[in-house]
Amino acid sequence: MRLLICAAVFAALTFSVQPSTALAASCSERITFVQHVIDGDVKTGFVDKKVHDVMSRDLAEAGQACKAGDVAKAQSLISSTQRRHGYPVR
């Protein structure tokens, strides 16, 4: 529960500061944004290193799909890892 609250607060603060990043249309920008969020969360202790590693692997897979031009698959992979680990999906 604490993770969800902190993630929501962080997302709200980030959204108000960097709306173009939070609403990034391209999959590579979205991957970078989500990776930045989880990197910060693991540094502050809100996310366990194992969860961070799993999410990072999922995001790397999404990055491969994005580079291959399969934007729909990349977006789906990003959203699914966010949902699975309790992060809000935009």
Per-residue pLDDT tens over the stretch 25-69: 589 999 999 999 999 999 999 999 999 999 999 999 999 999 999
The whole-number pLDDT of residue 90 equals 76
Q: Is the pLDDT of residue 6 over 90?
A: no
Note whether residue 16 is domain-resident. Answer: yes
C-alpha distances out from residue 43 to 49, 52, 62, 79, Å = 9, 10, 23, 22
Note whether residue 56 is domain-resident. Answer: yes
Note whether residue 90 is domain-resident. Answer: no
Q: Which domain holds residue 67?
A: 2-84
Q: Decide: pTM greater than 0.85.
A: no
